[in-house]
């Protein structure tokens, strides 16, 4: 057996799967608990309505990300009912909190296999979802940050101005060639069906909607601590959060972009809030989004258990029907 085959055999072992889930959940909880005192202090100074609305916006952002991934999986040939889709995506998201940047993809691939989704298709769908998020996030940052007058990036401003060039990656023919090249390098079979403009447009629309809601989430927190509530600051929050997420994604050595994402937000929000206020905002944002991930993982776990029960009760009925 090859080295890759041995590695896959280890990953598919039930003990390894449960160990990974426990470790990932533990790291996600640590991400909240480690800064709990500061988060609690920030929450006490935040208007309750702003805090509640920001929590809802964070959950909606995660939902939009889920729907973009589900649309891409359907486009590749595996449309899923809501329950199994939530089970796969929700549980896999806790993998973001394990350093390395690939564990949520591996988790989605392995859980998807339990639902008879080819592993290559799951891998492709998750990779496409990430690429769509990165490109749409960069493009949205390029569209909104100049309007907001965000020149705080200094010599790194060229990153924003070059972002629209990435839009060519969302052309189905170009994206499909990239996917085929990546799968060849991994020695995996290429997709059975081509990407369509319609399917890709649905995923991009959900991704852009997600960035808009994520920006609203950040804007609610910053205005709750005293930043002016204007269209310019909303544009700053939308573009700033998208750019910060992309930077956090690129820095794969830390779980869920911790630290890198906050550094970008500190840079962009400087001058709009005092330094302590910006720190409180980024801590609250991290805590709320981590709690949203954990909630979705819990919903996914419940959906997975419900699906197993339904399959178990359906089996005798199917057998009786065949008899």
- Residue 171 three-state SS: coil
- Using CB atoms within 10 A of its CB, is residue 19 exposed (0-12), middle (13-18) or buried (19+)? exposed
CA nearest neighbour of 194 among 179, 210, 209:
179
- Alpha helix (H) residue ranges in the chain: 3-12, 14-33, 36-45, 48-75, 82-92, 103-114, 119-148, 157-162, 172-185, 197-224, 231-250, 260-269, 275-322
CA distances from 147 to 207, 218, 225, 234, 240 (A): 21, 17, 22, 10, 12
- State how far the Cα of 36 lies from the Cα of 257, in Å rounded to an integer: 18
8 Å CB contact between 245 and 171: no
Average pLDDT over residues 80-100: 81
- The pTM of this model reads 0.76
Stretch among 15-24, 46-55, 276-285, 300-309 having the lowest mean pLDDT: 15-24
Looking at residue 245, its pLDDT comes to: 84
Greatest Cα-to-Cα distance within the chain, rounded to the nearest angstrom: 74
Looking at residue 251, its pLDDT comes to: 59
pLDDT digits (tens, 9 = 90+) for 207-247: 999 999 999 999 999 998 888 899 989 999 998 898 888 87
8 Å CB contact between 43 and 51: yes
Q: How confident is the model at residue 152 (pLDDT cuts 50, 70, 90)?
A: low
8 Å CB contact between 162 and 233: no
Token representation of residue 70? 């589900």
pLDDT digits (tens, 9 = 90+) for 41-76: 666 778 889 989 999 999 999 999 999 999 999 998
CA nearest neighbour of 128 among 174, 63, 185:
174
pLDDT digits (tens, 9 = 90+) for 102-121: 777 777 888 888 888 888 88
- State how far the Cα of 140 lies from the Cα of 254, in Å rounded to an integer: 24
- State how far the Cα of 273 lies from the Cα of 281, in Å rounded to an integer: 10
pLDDT digits (tens, 9 = 90+) for 247-286: 777 654 444 445 667 777 877 887 787 777 777 888 788 8
DSSP 169: G
- State how far the Cα of 52 lies from the Cα of 137, in Å rounded to an integer: 25
Q: How many residues does the chain have?
A: 323
């Amino acid at each position: 057996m090859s080295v890759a085959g041995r590695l896959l055999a280890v990953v598919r072992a039930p003990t390894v799967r449960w160990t990974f889930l426990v470790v990932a959940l533990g790291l996600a909880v640590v991400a909240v608990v480690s800064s709990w005192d500061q988060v609690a202090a920030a929450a006490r100074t935040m208007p309750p309505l702003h805090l509640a609305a920001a929590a809802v916006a964070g959950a909606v952002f995660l939902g939009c990300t889920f729907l973009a991934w589900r649309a891409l999986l359907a486009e590749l040939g595996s449309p899923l009912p809501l329950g199994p889709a939530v089970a796969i995506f929700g549980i896999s998201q806790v993998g973001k909190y394990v350093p390395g940047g690939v564990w949520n993809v591996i988790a989605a691939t392995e859980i998807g296999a339990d639902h008879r989704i080819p592993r290559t298709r799951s891998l492709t769908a998750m990779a496409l979802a990430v690429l769509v998020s990165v490109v749409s996030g960069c493009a949205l940052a390029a569209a909104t940050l100049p309007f907001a007058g965000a020149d705080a990036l200094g010599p790194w401003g060229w990153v924003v101005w070059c972002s629209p060039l990435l839009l060519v990656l969302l052309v189905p023919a170009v994206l499909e060639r990239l996917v085929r090249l990546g799968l060849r390098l991994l020695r995996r079979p290429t997709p059975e069906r081509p990407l369509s403009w319609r399917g890709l447009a649905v995923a991009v629309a959900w991704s852009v909607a997600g960035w808009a809601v994520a920006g609203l989430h950040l804007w609610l927190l910053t205005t709750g601590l005293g930043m002016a509530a204007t269209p310019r600051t909303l544009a700053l929050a939308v573009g700033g959060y998208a750019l910060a997420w992309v930077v956090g994604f690129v820095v794969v050595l830390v779980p869920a972009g911790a630290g890198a994402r906050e550094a970008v937000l500190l840079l962009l929000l400087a001058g709009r809030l005092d330094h302590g206020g910006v720190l409180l905002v980024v801590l609250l944002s991290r805590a709320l989004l981590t709690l949203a991930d954990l909630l979705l993982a819990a919903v996914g776990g419940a959906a997975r258990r419900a699906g197993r029960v339904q399959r178990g009760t359906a089996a005798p009925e199917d057998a009786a029907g065949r008899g």
